[in-house]
Amino acid sequence: MSQRDPLLEAIARYPAPLIMTVVGLVGMPLTLWLFAPERAPARPETPVVISASATPTATPTGTPVAAIAAATQDIALALPEQSPAEALIVDAPASADPATSAEPAAAELLEDASATVPASTTETLSAPGSANSAPPPAQSFVPAPGTHYIALIIDDIGYVDDLGARAVALPDDVTFAVLPHTPHGVTLAQAAHDNGKEVMLHAPMSNLGAMPLGPGGLTPQLTREEFVQTLTTALDAVPHLQGLNNHMGSELTAQEEPMRWVMETLQGRDLYFVDSYTTASSVAGRIAREQNIPTLTRNVFLDNVQTAEDIDREFQRLLALAREKGFATGIGHPYAATLDYLEKTLPTLAALNIELIPVSQMIALQQQATGAW
């Protein structure tokens, strides 16, 4: 009778503990390895969805397209409440008249005052971008030696007939930014084009001050489909467009995703983008460059304060920037004071070796000068 090992005998009699031990020693690391996060099958990203079905008619834009779409779809993006600090950003300057804030031009005035373009804005254009590929070739522009260049955009064209007509009759190559779906927008865009001027869409974008956008407003509450549809409808509503700039937008231009949707829409139409730069938090210009959309950023607002003295001071600042950098872009509005000033001043620029060029040429000039949009 052979001697039996007590341990083997015990294992033979009670195999379960051994099996469990083996399973535990081998199975646990195997399980951890198999279900490690990087080995787990990828799941489709689930967006944070808040059902909007309870309030189907509430849309910030008030456009029929947005209202219908919002009634049938969920809102995929919820924004946090605006903080008091953010609200301060768009507080009206002391000189602004709150009684007129519902007017588009006045509303923008409140917002325009909130963003001061850093002196380095034009340098940012020459910074190495994160573009996926080289920018497409711009139209060529040959600057004359000793000449400094400015571009001048008149925003908010469309609501006021007589001042709008006066604006499009300005001499030289002023560029006009026309609000979509406005009473006189199409007529004035056509008149500007007939007068040899460049026309862009002045796309209303949401602001931190909750100021009304008017028709065609773009907001973060829109789904991608609603957003692109609203912008496409606005682009189709104004003739002779060569580009787009933002009306207000201190909220929207700070958000990457909607700015990508803007640029994707422009890309299919071969249009440029001008960042009106109504907030220092704007990412619009960067997103435009990343997506190879020809772009520039506004340097000076001429008429945040509508007196001849204030407009002259800002215009001189524009000229000084142009002399320093070679080029600079200003934005004004169809105010009587602004038009008075420009009618008087634009004819004097040639004697100062300053040339006013349309925005498309300014973009080409900047690209040639800096090697980037």
Binding site for Zn ion (CB under 5 A): 108, 155-156, 247
Q: What's the closest the beta carbon of residue 317 comes to Zn ion, in angstroms?
A: 20
Q: Which is nearer to Zn ion, 155 or 251 (CB)?
A: 155
Q: What's the closest the beta carbon of residue 190 comes to Zn ion, in angstroms?
A: 20
State how far the Cα of 211 lies from the Cα of 107, in Å rounded to an integer: 7
Q: What's the closest the beta carbon of residue 207 comes to Zn ion, in angstroms?
A: 10
For residues 154 and 318, is the Cβ–Cβ distance under 8 A?
A: no
Q: What's the closest the beta carbon of residue 283 comes to Zn ion, in angstroms?
A: 19
Q: Which is nearer to Zn ion, 112 or 226 (CB)?
A: 112
Q: What is the DSSP letter of 75?
A: B
Q: What's the closest the beta carbon of residue 202 comes to Zn ion, in angstroms?
A: 5
Q: Which is nearer to Zn ion, 155 or 198 (CB)?
A: 155
Q: What's the closest the beta carbon of residue 176 comes to Zn ion, in angstroms?
A: 12
Helices (H), the chain: 6-13, 15-34, 64-72, 84-89, 104-112, 121-126, 161-168, 185-194, 224-237, 256-267, 284-290, 308-325, 336-345, 359-370
Q: What's the closest the beta carbon of residue 108 comes to Zn ion, in angstroms?
A: 4
Q: What is the dihedral of CA 190, 193, 198, 204, to 10 degrees?
A: 0
Select the residue whose beta carbon is closest to Zn ion and give its number.
247
Q: Which is nearer to Zn ion, 156 or 198 (CB)?
A: 156
What type of residue is 52?
A: A
Q: Which is nearer to Zn ion, 184 or 247 (CB)?
A: 247
Q: Which is nearer to Zn ion, 249 or 358 (CB)?
A: 249
Q: Which is nearer to Zn ion, 156 or 290 (CB)?
A: 156
Concatenating the DSSP letter of every residue in 256-309 gives HHHHHHHHHHHHTTT-EEEE---STT--HHHHHHHTT--EEE--EES-SS-SHH
Q: What is the DSSP letter of 218?
A: B
Q: For residue 99, how far is the Cα from the chain centroid? A: 28
How many other CB atoms are found less than 10 A from the CB of residue 368?
13
Sign of the alpha-carbon dihedral angle for 55, 235, 232, 360: negative
What type of residue is 208?
A: L
Q: What's the closest the beta carbon of residue 178 comes to Zn ion, in angstroms?
A: 10
Q: Which is nearer to Zn ion, 156 or 355 (CB)?
A: 156
- Tell how strand 148-157 and strand 175-178 pair up: parallel
